[in-house]
Amino acid sequence: MIDRGSRLTRVLTFHVPLWGFVLLTLFPFYWMLVTSLKPDRELYNVAMNPILLREPTLKHYRLLFEDTPFVRWTVNTMVVAVLSTGISLLCAVGAGYALARLRFRGATIIGLIIFTTYLIPHTLIFLPLAQVVHMLGLANSLWALILTYPTFLIPFCAWLLMGYFKTIPLELEECAMIDGASRVRAMWSIVLPLARPGILSAGIFAFTLSWNEFIYALVFLSSPETKTIPIGVVSELIKGDVFYWGSLMAGALLGSVPVAIFYSFLVEHYVGGLTAGAVKG
């Protein structure tokens, strides 16, 4: 009786809330999948159950790939996300290490200022950034996004890595430098391998924001060939008051797959980088 009661308690307190959370999380993806496979007569028939699918069709996917440059949007989004993430991590690693290791006046204040810049809403700075982009002749090009996304990616990544570098014992670097290694060599050979979970966490954060960013891409890109998935799907599949819901959901579903795959491979490092230090003692 005691074992049966404990199992029932575990089911009610753990398994039921867990599966409820999983179903709630996956329901938007199920809705997108069902909507993208419904023919128009089911999609716009309010008398039918909206969560059931009777006669699936690939019409909306054909429209997405044949009538829009969705493949080009995917390539553009991947290029922008990878390059902007690489630039942001390169700068954030240097800034985070300097703030965590180098002793100079005002390091704490500078760290707070860097993080505070991340809190500034993007809607307040995209207009001055648009002027800079036009002055540099980068309008309607992917470089407009690659060079502006780090303005909000670097502050958070640097702040995250600064805290992670502080969990690595300083004695490890000091021992290496006593043996003749330079600070750069000690950083490259000792600190960065230990900080890999934190760097992966920052990289996942930067990649996700770059992949899903909307406002800057809407302002800086105009031609269909240069657009990214969030902008291309919305601008090309919403014409006036006509919404191509099936193709919109197909584009949204396919656009979320790369990020989901990226997370599935690195989720353990991501959680470890946010919740644990580099060296446990």
Q: What is the pLDDT of residue 194?
A: 86
Task: Say if residue 245's pLDDT is above 60.
Answer: yes
The answer to whether 219 touches 149, Cβ cutoff 8 Å, is no
Q: What is the pLDDT of residue 65?
A: 93
Q: What is the pLDDT of residue 243?
A: 86
Q: What is the pLDDT of residue 46?
A: 77
Task: Say if residue 73's pLDDT is above 80.
Answer: yes
Percent of the chain past pLDDT 70, that is, above it, reads 93
Q: Among 71-80, 153-162, 164-173, 184-193, which range has the highest average pLDDT?
A: 71-80
At residue 100, φ and ψ (nearest 5 deg) are -90, -30
Percent of the chain past pLDDT 90, that is, above it, reads 27
Q: What is the pLDDT of residue 5?
A: 63
The closest alpha carbon to 270, from 210, 219, 227, 208, belongs to 208
Task: Say if residue 280's pLDDT is above 50.
Answer: no
The model's pLDDT over 18-66, given as tens digits with 9 standing for 90+, comes to 889 889 988 988 999 999 999 988 888 878 888 888 888 999 999 999 9
Q: What is the pLDDT of residue 168?
A: 86
The closest alpha carbon to 221, from 77, 70, 78, 88, belongs to 77
Dihedral of CA 170/171/175/178: which sign?
positive
Q: What is the pLDDT of residue 275?
A: 52
Q: What is the pLDDT of residue 104?
A: 75
Distance between CA atoms of residues 36 and 57, nearest Å: 8
Task: Say if residue 162's pLDDT is above 80.
Answer: yes
Q: What is the pLDDT of residue 273?
A: 52
CA 184 to chain centre: 30
Q: What is the pLDDT of residue 230?
A: 92
Q: Which residues pair with 243 in a beta bridge?
A: 238
- Whole-angstrom CA distances from 120 to 112, 132, 179, 219, 259 are 13, 18, 44, 18, 25
Per-residue DSSP letter, 48: S
Alpha helix ranges (H) inside the chain: 2-10, 16-37, 40-43, 59-67, 70-101, 107-119, 122-135, 142-148, 150-165, 170-178, 183-186, 192-194, 196-212, 215-220, 229-237, 245-275
The model's pLDDT over 83-132, given as tens digits with 9 standing for 90+, comes to 999 999 999 999 888 888 877 777 778 777 877 877 788 778 878 888 88
Q: What is the largest CA-CA distance in the chain?
A: 77
Q: What is the pLDDT of residue 281?
A: 42
C-alpha radius of gyration, the chain, whole number: 24
Distance between CA atoms of residues 273 and 261, nearest Å: 19
Mean pLDDT, the chain, whole residue set: 84
Q: What is the pLDDT of residue 84?
A: 96
